[in-house]
Amino acid sequence: MNIYLDLFLTFARIGGFTFGGGYAMLPMIVKECVDKKGWATEDEIMDYFAIGQCTPGVIAVNTATFVGSKMAGPLGGVAATIGVISPCWVIITIIALFIRNFAQYEVVQHALAGITVAVLALVLNAVLKLGKKSVPSVAAGILCVIVFLLSITGLVPAAWLIVFSGIAGVVYSKLAGKMKRTSEKEDE
């Protein structure tokens, strides 16, 4: 199959059958791109998720762009991006046309409440899967807890938390490397 068509169809399936937004799509992206297609490794996908979260836009769309670009250059990125957003665009357009007519019905309100709970479960699933890979040490776990607590208080903007975390990661790796070299010299 043509790689551009394969990228488009794969990401269209992810976009069309994963409800709950960008975070809810992450487990399906891993399943399709890592497990089934072999387009990326788990480490690469984790990097794409991290960069996709730090850049403007929806994390799933950004990740689709990264995977598509890796597989087939800029046109692959375009094919994957259009693929992942097309079903969402169609579905949102249809819902927008009809939601005003039905939003006041109790059954619709209950359905939306149920969908919200399901989306939360999907997001938590993605967080748990990502957490296993992205918190590899006690220091990373401590940083994760600090950033989480600061984010839920709303005292520090998310952009600053991301910058702070990046700086903390660099400082930690430098300190850990220095301590390791010192330890190796002492062992000699």
Residues 21, 100, single domain; the answer is yes
Share of the chain above pLDDT 70, in %: 95
pLDDT digit string (tens) for 130-149?
777 778 888 888 998 999 99
Domain count, the chain: 2
Range(s) of the domain holding residue 139: 135-188
Residues 152, 96, single domain; the answer is no
DSSP-derived secondary structure for the chain: --HHHHHHHHHHHHHHH--SSHHHHHHHHIIIIIIIS-SS-HHHHHHHHHHHHHSSS-HHHHHHHHHHHHHHHHHHHHHHHHHHHHHHHHHHHHHHHHHHHHTTSHHHHHHHHHHHHHHHHHHHHHHHHHHHHH--SHHHHHHHHHHHHHHHHTSS-HHHHHHHHHHHHHHHHHHHHHHHHHHHHHH-
pLDDT digit string (tens) for 43-101?
898 889 888 888 888 888 999 999 999 999 999 999 999 999 999 889 888 888 887 78
Residues 154, 115, single domain; the answer is no
Select from 97, 117, 134 the last residue of a domain.
134
